[in-house]
Structure 1
Amino acid sequence: MQRYQKGEVKVDGVRVVLERMSKEIESLRKQVGAPAKSGAAGAVSETEAEILDRQFWASLPASGKRSVLLSPEAWCIPRRNLRQFVEELLGQNDAATAAAVLESYAGGVAYKEPDGRRKTLAGLGELADLYLHPEVRRLEAAVRRLGEQLRRENQPELQTLLRGVFIQYSQEALARRLYPAVQATLGALGQQPTTVERELRQRIGVEARLPDFIDQAAGAPRLPDGLAGILQALPAPAAEQLAARFKRVTRRDERERLVELGRAAGAALVEPLRETLRARPALEATAAVGLLSRLQPAAVEELLPARLREWNRPYHDLVVRQLASGGAPERGRLLLKLLEALDALVVPEAVDEIGMSGEAAAAPLLVGWAKGALPRNAKPYARLKAIEALGRLRSREAVEALRPLVEAKQLWRWVNPPELRLVAAQALERLDPEWAKKFLPGSELAAAELAVRPLDPDPASSFVQQRRYVRYLLAKPLSATVETPRGRLTLTVKVLGLGGGLVTGEPRPAPGSEGAIEVQRIRAQVFFREAPAPDAGFEIVDIELEERSKLRTLLGGLPAPAR
């Protein structure tokens, strides 16, 4: 001890002396027939060398321990002594020295002698909790050291040990969402031979945790540090998982956090999304539309029209809903360019969203539709939607086109159907309130039916899908029959509005399926939507003017409060 403290014996010299002493003690023990020391029941016995080693270092003053632990020979200190010393430092609020000691110790994985590397790896396997300590947080540095040595190590036994500790520390980082340390894992994996990388990646399981990481980020007040770097390192699976989570998003704050994450990941994420939309099957491609519309709307404008021509009605519906829930400022313009390629039953919901988006450039086209100049893939119901959209857009240029729809008479009879007149009148209430105040009292349009009106966009809404119409909770549910491709269903309508409602019953209609519904002798074509069980939502996608007028009359007479 005295010679070591005087500097006459180096650290590795102490180890040699202690090992020689342990062999001599063991030899003497055998000569006198004394039994070898054993640990307590269930414990692993220490060798004489380990006991002497531990006792020697325990007897050193703190300054001596500190000197060794901050040197390249830190691995010589038994892990029990190292743990005790680090815990004492933390108890003294000296986290900086504790961190330096742990970082120095991890450096032993690259020590020139194999025995030093072996002992360091054995110690790291038992000291992971110290590297995870919130006041120290040296897991990332340890993972980097392990990864670097994993690439260089040429001894098979030590390679096996290295892989074991590297996997252990990497999984600790995953479990605790320590993203900078996970980035270090991915960086190290990228430097390994392909077969080794594949094996380690599978055993560590980073990709399997991506959905959890993304889900946690969606609800966080800010982006977690390091997560964007993980997505950049795993662009294809990250793009797939982020797009899938974006497709399911219901709240605006979560949507914007996912967009922020996608933008932070940058071009690495955009390219797989582009390729998915360009070449993957319809179900995968449509899932990429919403997120890509926020990250690179020009790519959607470029690639989507051609893909739409390959797909059928359900996928057209998915595309429109993805663009609507994505909330891109450009969504109205995108939908405007897609209108001619959409299925006839999907056109009305696209026009609805154009109106909700505030896309003023849509006004000239919508004015033409309001006058009756519909394209071949649009039904009369789309004309009503165009008029409602003009009202939402506050398009003053539509006034001259809409007034005749309400005012026109022939032989003292109104020329246009009641529903067309009423929808145009509601739009004019927004566009020309002075005209509405003067004309509507004598228009023979019922005030109760005028009150059943389309809703404007709500900038303060917390949800990505905004309600288009007032919905009524029925005091007395109504029976409905639905004709579907799988047969006739009898359901109960609980909530109803001009745009659709909620039904309940068995079998529950599958989201995305379609049918022809009849309630109170009012018939309409509907798409079914997701809703909390046991309910199913439905959206009206086509309805004759007379049938919609009957629905409006029913709603206008309901005493139930709107919701």
Structure 2
Amino acid sequence: MRGLPRALASWEWNLQDLAVSELSRPANTASLQSSAFIFSAILADAHPLVVPMMIDQIGLAMESTAVPQMMEIAAGEHEMLRDQFVRIKAIEALGRMRATESSELLRSICEKREGLTHVEPAGLRAAAEDALAMIENRPTSARVRAAFESATQSSANFVVPRRYTRVPLESPLRAQIEQGAAGLARVKSISLGGAYLESLKKSTVGDAIKLEVRAGLKKIQFTAVVRNIGPDGNGIEFVHMKDEDREKLRKLVQRHLQF
């Protein structure tokens, strides 16, 4: 772990992903916090597809020293980390950490307008509303916690522990894999962070794929990484999506959550 800050920037994304994945399943709380502290120091050196997982770990570890950095990213003011998906992850991390000092910023993201138009897109605003609900313990926070907090109860056996609650789908969704092991698939369960795909196509842990999921008349597009292989498919983690796709996913998960 000590050599990671010096080496990370020179590695290809898949090697970065492997290293961060390994450090994201620590054996104890102390190592979880050590990893999160190191992640916060090297975020700007990481590949864009690896940064979201690192921010998730910072939030889960309650790494309070990273709160100013998460606020900077959430506000869209970081020199390098300005992608909307990364900003959503930073907002979620602030909510997980119950970072009360971020409340004013989060309210600004929710409410700021230019004339009649919101400054920030819907996905960012929804993430900020959810984070505020958790920080302020609003009545709506039960719905938000249902999507986040029960994930840790069932994640111990996974290569990368789940960071969001996976919800089963009574009627699997159709999906098209557009990169990697291209072909048709069915989504049997889904969360804000990933899904389980039933597919005849063979994949390998660490493969990156482009995925389009059809939910009714809506299409949701993701970039994902295969995290585990099952008897009839693969568990995947979402590593990038557009703001509008994240908002479609959030609404889909909310419809199927039980809390």
TM-score by length of 2: 0.86
1:358 aligns with 2:62: yes
1:494 aligns with 2:188: yes
Q: What is the match of residue 314 of structure 1?
A: 14
More strand as a share of residues = 2
Task: Please list the CA deviations of residues 263-290 of structure 1 after superposition, one character each: whole Å capped at 9, or x if unmatched.
Answer: xxxxxxxxxxxxxxxxxxxxxxxxxxxx
Which of 456, 459, 484 aligns to 2:179? It is: 484
Note the C-alpha offset of 1:410. Answer: 3.9
Q: Does the aligned pair in 1 maintain the 2:72–2:78 contact within 8 Å?
A: yes
1:472 aligns with 2:167: yes
Q: Does the aligned pair in 1 maintain the 2:205–2:226 contact within 8 Å?
A: yes
Q: What is the match of residue 330 of structure 1?
A: 34
Identity, % of aligned pairs? Answer: 30
Q: What is the match of residue 537 of structure 1?
A: 235
**Aligned CA distance change for structure 1 residues 353 and 472 (closer, same or farther; 3 Å):** same
Q: What is the match of residue 45 of structure 2?
A: 341
Alignment of 1:91-106 (within 5 A): none
Q: Does the aligned pair in 1 maintain the 2:180–2:210 contact within 8 Å?
A: no
Q: Does the aligned pair in 1 maintain the 2:200–2:233 contact within 8 Å?
A: no
Amino acid aligned to 2:238:
I
Q: Does the aligned pair in 2 maintain the 1:370–1:386 contact within 8 Å?
A: yes
Q: What is the match of residue 197 of structure 2?
A: 503
Number of corresponding residues: 249
TM-score by length of 1: 0.41
Gaps of 5+ in 2: none
Task: Please list the CA deviations of residues 278-330 of structure 1 after superposition, one character each: whole Å capped at 9, or x if unmatched.
Answer: xxxxxxxxxxxxxxxxxxxxxx23x2122223321111111111111124031
Note the C-alpha offset of 1:451. Answer: 7.4
Look at both structures and tell me which one has the larger radius of gyration over its CA atoms: 1
Q: Which SS does the other structure have where 1:518 is aligned?
A: strand
Note the C-alpha offset of 1:414. Answer: 3.4
Task: Please list the CA deviations of residues 379-399 of structure 1 after superposition, one character each: whole Å capped at 9, or x if unmatched.
Answer: 221100001001111111111
Q: Does the aligned pair in 2 maintain the 1:422–1:450 contact within 8 Å?
A: no
Alignment of 1:72-111 (within 5 A): none
Q: Does the aligned pair in 2 maintain the 1:356–1:457 contact within 8 Å?
A: no
CA–CA distance in structure 1, aligned partners of residues 155 and 196 of structure 2: 21
Task: Please list the CA deviations of residues 446-471 of structure 1 after superposition, one character each: whole Å capped at 9, or x if unmatched.
Answer: x998677433785x778275421121
**Aligned CA distance change for structure 1 residues 456 and 411 (closer, same or farther; 3 Å):** farther
**Aligned CA distance change for structure 1 residues 432 and 542 (closer, same or farther; 3 Å):** same
More helix as a share of residues = 1
Report 1 or 2 for greater relative contact order, CA contacts < 8 Å, sequence distance ≥ 6: 2
Alignment of 1:83-482 (within 5 A): 300-301=1-2, 303-326=3-26, 327=28, 328=31, 329-376=33-80, 379-433=83-137, 436=138, 453-455=147-149, 458=152, 463=156, 465-482=160-177
Q: What is the match of residue 224 of structure 2?
A: 526
Task: Please list the CA deviations of residues 526-549 of structure 1 after superposition, one character each: whole Å capped at 9, or x if unmatched.
Answer: 001113322201111001010111
**Aligned CA distance change for structure 1 residues 319 and 555 (closer, same or farther; 3 Å):** same
CA–CA distance in structure 2, aligned partners of residues 323 and 339 of structure 1: 14
Amino acid aligned to 2:255:
G
CA–CA distance in structure 2, aligned partners of residues 456 and 404 of structure 1: 29
**Aligned CA distance change for structure 1 residues 375 and 539 (closer, same or farther; 3 Å):** farther
Note the C-alpha offset of 1:353. Answer: 0.5
